[in-house]
Every structure is written in structure tokens, then in C-alpha cells.
Structure 1
Amino acid sequence: MASVDGSWDCVVKSPLGDQKLTLGIVSDGASFSGTASGAMGSSDVSGSVDGDTITWTQSVSVPMPMTLDCKATAAGDTLSGTVGAGAFGSFPLTGSRAK
């Protein structure tokens, strides 16, 4: 089991305010699959694993259709990274392992 595996309670600091989501990760070698769910809906996610870092893209439809470029690194029970929203910029993502 990689250090990124598990359920994470996350917050993305966006111009629309704090966006809370739960990120569930199951790694399999150099890749992972899981789910991201929050107030704006739920979607399946998958991407790559490099040590303690995961990278993925995620399509959202609310508040408008766009593809997010996400990257996060686990350190113990803490997750930190960024969510890129194209022309809207990049926003910090923080999380803690769900108990």
C-alpha cells in the first residue's frame, strides 16, 4: 500500500470559496483509481503515482465545464498540492487522512 492510499478530507482554496471534497485513492503500482466527491458532485478519478505524489485530471461541470489538472503529495497523514483550472489559475489543495 502506497502512502497516498486511503480516504482524504480535502479543501481547495478557489475564487468561489473553500471547496471541500473527499478523495478516495487506491494505488496499483504507478497508477491509481478512486473517487472525488463534494458539494459539486462526485466523479471517478484515475492517474499516476510517483512515490508519494499523485497526478490526475478531473472533468467538472459546475460551475462550468472544465478540466482540472491536479497534483498532490502525501506526507504522513497530510496531503498538499495544487488544482490547475486553465485560464482561471492554480489553487492550493490541502487535506488530511480521514479517520
Structure 2
Amino acid sequence: MSIIGEWDVTIKTPIGSMAVVYSFTDDGSTVAGSATGKDETVPLRNIIVVNDAGGQRVTWQQSVTKPMRLNLDFDVVVDGDRLAGHSRAGRLPRSAVIGTRRRGQI
């Protein structure tokens, strides 16, 4: 199963859990994506997808301005309709990331 589709994701940050909807698309040569939180939608950058025996590993970067301005790095593994991993904002501690594919998504 691939990252392509829409995902309901929870990021467990030091200031509390955040619900974010991630959308990933593939035009045949490039994977693109966006993240929609409570107050903003931001594009994902530098998305890298690697298929291995443990599932599909996906890394990306994104910048947010709410609740504060941060540059985030993500590293997750997709296993069927679930993903899990972490995000990191600079020197701040890693935040756990978990998500499920939205129903009806390929």
C-alpha cells in the first residue's frame, strides 16, 4: 500500500496533540502533498518515498506558521492503511506521528 491518498494524522507535540489531514498525490513522476490543520494548509516539500520489506518509508519537510512558525521534518512508515513515525522541529524533541487512511482512499 502506498502513501497516495488522504490521511487523518495525529501529531503528539510537547504543547498537545494536533489533528492534521495529509493529502498525497502522484502524477506518475513526482509525489506531491499538502497538510491541512486547524488554521492553515501548507505544501509538503522534498517528499521521498522508499519501498522496503517493512513497508513504505516516506520523508518530507513542511513549514507552518500556526500555532508558531516552525520548519518540520517528517519520517513515517506506511503499513497498509496506517502510518507511524515522528516529526522534528529543529532541536525540539521528536513528536510521535500516527495516522489512518481516510475511507474510500486507494
Same fold flag (TM > 0.5): yes
- State the distance in 1 between where 2:27 and 2:75 align: 17
Q: Which runs of 4+ in 1 moved over 4 A?
A: 28-31
TM superposition shift of 1:56: 0.6
The answer for the alignment partner of 1:35 in structure 2 is 34
Unmatched segments (≥5 aa) in structure 1:
none
Q: What is the letter of the counterpart of residue 53 of structure 1?
A: R
RMSD of Structure 2 on Structure 1 (CA): 1.7
- State the distance in 2 between where 1:6 and 1:25 align: 5
Length, aligned pairs only = 98
Q: Does 1:48 align with 2:52?
A: no
2:97 aligns with one of 71, 84, 93: 93
Larger strand fraction of residues: 1
Q: Which moved more, 1:30-39 or 1:2-11?
A: 30-39
**Aligned-residue identity in percent:** 31
- Greater Cα radius of gyration, structure 1 or 2: 2
- State the distance in 1 between where 2:71 and 2:60 align: 10
Q: TM-score, normalised by structure 1?
A: 0.88
